[in-house]
Amino acid sequence: MLFVSADRQEGIEEIKSCLAGRTTAVAGPSGVGKSTIINTIYPEAHMETGEISRKIDRGRHTTRHSELFALGEDTFLMDTPGFTSLNVEGIEKEELSGYYPEFAPYEAACRFGGCAHISEPDCGVKQALAEGKISQIRYENYKLLYEELKSRRKY
């Protein structure tokens, strides 16, 4: 997994090297910046992008079809429309932090094994969050998904 920011030009060279010799589809929720990243990697794409909404702190849905770009003889990149929901079927709440690789370096500092990183004292992940080492938005999304998984009925 690569963390990329088109605005800050972070991870762009790493992602370019990963794309070489492959066909890659860029997928993710609506308005998170997939087309902006593609425009940064391949300016000739001229993908339509929108402004960041102050209300929801992300862009709005602009891509309405999939489009494949030839970056080189054997390298292709596809922009795809975003999605609005994420199905978490098959994931247990105890497994969720494994889907947040940025938590991994800080989990060893948690006081309790099996720390959920929600309300436990001496949590390494929450400490990293307080120090700005983990994205507040990603952590808030983690908490929302955790609560959704926690409230899910088992049949």
- Residue 1: which pLDDT band, with cuts at 50, 70 and 90? low
Predicted local distance difference test score (pLDDT) of residue 129? 96
Locate the domains of the chain by residue range. 12-79, 93-151
In the prediction, which pLDDT does 122 show?
Answer: 97
The pTM score is 0.52
pLDDT given at position 126: 98
The mean of the pLDDT values for the chain is 82
- Distance of alpha carbon 110 from alpha carbon 24, whole angstroms: 36
Does residue 47 contact residue 35 with C-beta atoms inside 8 Å? yes
Provide the CATH number for the domain formed by 93-151 in this structure.
1.10.40.50
What pLDDT score does 61 carry?
45
Quickly count: other Cβ atoms within 10 Å of residue 155's Cβ.
3
Residues 35 and 49: their CA atoms lie apart, in Å, by 6
Separation of alpha carbons 95 and 114, rounded Å:
10
Residues 61-87: what's their mean pLDDT?
Answer: 75
Per-residue model confidence (pLDDT) at position 142? 92
For residue 147, give Cα distances in angstroms to 9, 28, 51, 125: 33, 21, 30, 17
